Amino acid sequence: MSESLHQKFIIVLIEKYGDWEKLTSRFGNTTFGEIADDLCISASQFSKLIYGSATEGMYLRSIRNVKQLQSFEILKEDKKQLSQEIRKLNEKIHDEGSRFNFFLKYPLLSAFGSLFIGFILATTYFRIKTDVKEQVDSPNILEHSLAEFFDRDFKSDFISPFISEADAQEFCPCSAFEGTWVLDKEYIIPLPGRKPGLYYVAKSIDNRMKCLRSVENDKIGMKLIGFENLYHEIWLDKNREALPPRYFNTENKSYPEEFYNLEFESSSNFSLVAKIRSFQFSEFEIDNETITRRGEPSGRYASFVDHNLTQEFEIDVKHILENVIGSLVRFNCATAINKYCNPNDIQLGSVIEFDCNFTISTENLGIGGGYPYVKGYKLTNQVFSDNLLCGCVE
């Protein structure tokens, strides 16, 4: 996602609603929640847009929709002014003693004006609603499965899954980690099979982290659980080019720069095979130096499959889900360095990175080891950001 799109989105919000008041999560007098309602998107989607973790398509659609809302407001004001002008003209004609009011003297003009303005307003309104519905329904946008439990306004009648302010110090440092973490950067995993050329691309992750309460006394504040919605895509290199040596060095088990510069969307050599939705339960354990993550897959399915492509290139998506990225897959991630020994150092934009390897059963993909990748989480919504007293955990 281009940084300029994020900046442009902020600019159009400021133009419509007013200055960004970061301390109160408002633009002008309008809350983030109210703006999300205007755009017909969830609070989590709006957070991604605000903090720079949304997809390019989300930014383009949202910028367009904000501008259309501005246009709609202008049309409403124009209609109001024109109605006032018609009323004044009608009053003037009536005051001059005309036997017919304006609408009787100029029925076609009056009717046409009213119908035209109404048509423009209705067309603009429904186009906006259609556009934002397309944005909500877009398969590239990931709505968290548990959003209705995590994303309610604090004034709502519900029990928050997060730690209360009264317990934040007791559950330090994990209380500083609570909130929404998204995928920091996309990563690519080559998929082995009968023929080369398939790639598993991580596009987005929405991970809600909360402190784990039911732990031993010496682990209070040390463990979190995460509920992860994941969205991946499977892409095909239609040339079926083998990974080594062009895209993978088998000696040092690393990718050359050319691999990281692969442009799936813009290259005619690549085609989208499938879109994959996953849900995962994760447990995180914190100490002074490291953060350990253990993940447990809890379901995966294809929300889109290009059947013409799979038939032409003999690709079995179900087999890939079950046997390649399913039960035989080993996603082994090393512990991450804890850069937040002092939990007060955690802020919006903070990142946790795990160095991982992808292997299959004992074959290790035939290269004597797995394919490396980095899974990074970036904080976009922090529940508790006031000063915490626990410091580094002893």
The DSSP-derived string for 160-201 is -SSPPGGGTTTTTTHHHH-EEEEESS-EEEEE-SSSS-EEEE
Average of per-residue pLDDT values in the chain: 81
Q: Report the C-alpha gap between 247 and 209 in whole angstroms.
A: 35
Phi, psi (deg, nearest 5) at residue 172: -75, 140
Q: Report the C-alpha gap between 159 and 26 in whole angstroms.
A: 24
For the stretch 238-255, pLDDT in tens is 999 988 888 888 888 889
Between 28-37, 306-315, 345-354, the lowest mean confidence (pLDDT) is in 28-37
For the stretch 50-75, pLDDT in tens is 888 777 778 888 898 898 888 877 77
Buried b (16+ CB within 10 A) or exposed e, 188-215: bbbbbeeebbbbbbbbbbbbbbbbbeee
Chain centre distance of CA 157: 26
Q: Band of the pLDDT at 229, cuts 50, 70, 90? A: very high
The rounded percent of the chain whose pLDDT value lies above 90 is 35
Report yes or no: 151 and 42 within 8 Å, Cβ to Cβ.
yes
Residue with tokens 């996603």: 331
Phi, psi (deg, nearest 5) at residue 314: 55, 60
Cα three-residue angle 41-385-335, rounded to 5 degrees: 90
pLDDT at 353: 95
Report yes or no: 384 and 175 within 8 Å, Cβ to Cβ.
yes
- 106 compared with 200, residue with greater pLDDT: 200
Q: Band of the pLDDT at 137, cuts 50, 70, 90? A: very low
Token readout for 210 is 């909360």
Buried b (16+ CB within 10 A) or exposed e, 374-388: ebbbbbbbbbbeeeb
For the stretch 364-384, pLDDT in tens is 566 767 788 999 999 999 999
- 79 compared with 318, residue with greater pLDDT: 318
Q: Report the C-alpha gap between 92 and 132 in whole angstroms.
A: 44
pLDDT at 366: 67
- 206 compared with 107, residue with greater pLDDT: 206
Residue with tokens 């904080």: 379
pLDDT at 100: 45
Q: Report the C-alpha gap between 377 and 263 in whole angstroms.
A: 23
DSSP class per residue in 240-284: ---STTTT-BTTTTB--HHHHT--TTT-TTEEEEEEEEEEEEEEE
Q: Band of the pLDDT at 96, cuts 50, 70, 90? A: low
The rounded percent of the chain whose pLDDT value lies above 70 is 78
